[in-house]
């Protein structure tokens, strides 16, 4: 969670997995957009995952969210696949991951 003057301006939700943490949601208040809050929240989540011994972070987003995809790539995430969004007809999900520790195959 990110706060300014005691107001919540950003929030990140994760789901914990065996070898990874999944970033389930990143939200930043529109008035605080562009201030680096999202990347700071993601960096903190990655730090906590490393401390917990996780080897990677994963996330997914809508294929139409090109700005988000570009940001995630800038932060070191790579696309691992695309799949239909079963909850939204005609929508595509982009799966991404970032390795938190070096492995021989990444």
User: In the structure, what pLDDT confidence band is assigned to residue 62 with cuts at 50, 70 and 90?
Assistant: very high
Least confident of 34-38, 72-76, 96-100: 34-38
29, 42, 49, 53, 84 from 18: Cα distances, Å: 31, 19, 11, 10, 25
Mean pLDDT to the nearest integer, 79-90: 93
User: pTM of this prediction?
Assistant: 0.86
User: In the structure, what pLDDT confidence band is assigned to residue 101 with cuts at 50, 70 and 90?
Assistant: confident
Instruction: Tell me what percent of the residues of the chain surpass a pLDDT of 90.
Output: 76
Q: Is the pLDDT of residue 91 over 80?
A: yes
Of 8, 11, 82, 79, nearest in space to 40 by CA: 11
In angstroms, the CA 59 to CA 56 distance is 10
pLDDT value for 4? 62
């Amino acid at each position: 969670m990110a706060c300014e003057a005691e107001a919540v301006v950003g929030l990140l939700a994760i789901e914990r997995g065996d070898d990874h943490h999944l970033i389930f949601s990143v939200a930043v208040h529109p008035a605080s957009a562009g201030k680096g809050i999202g990347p700071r929240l993601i960096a903190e989540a990655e730090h906590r995952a490393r401390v917990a011994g996780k080897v990677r972070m994963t996330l997914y987003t809508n294929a139409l969210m090109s700005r988000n995809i570009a940001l995630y790539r800038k932060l070191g995430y790579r696309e691992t696949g695309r799949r239909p969004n079963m909850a939204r007809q005609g929508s595509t999900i982009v799966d991404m991951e970032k390795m938190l520790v070096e492995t021989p195959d990444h």
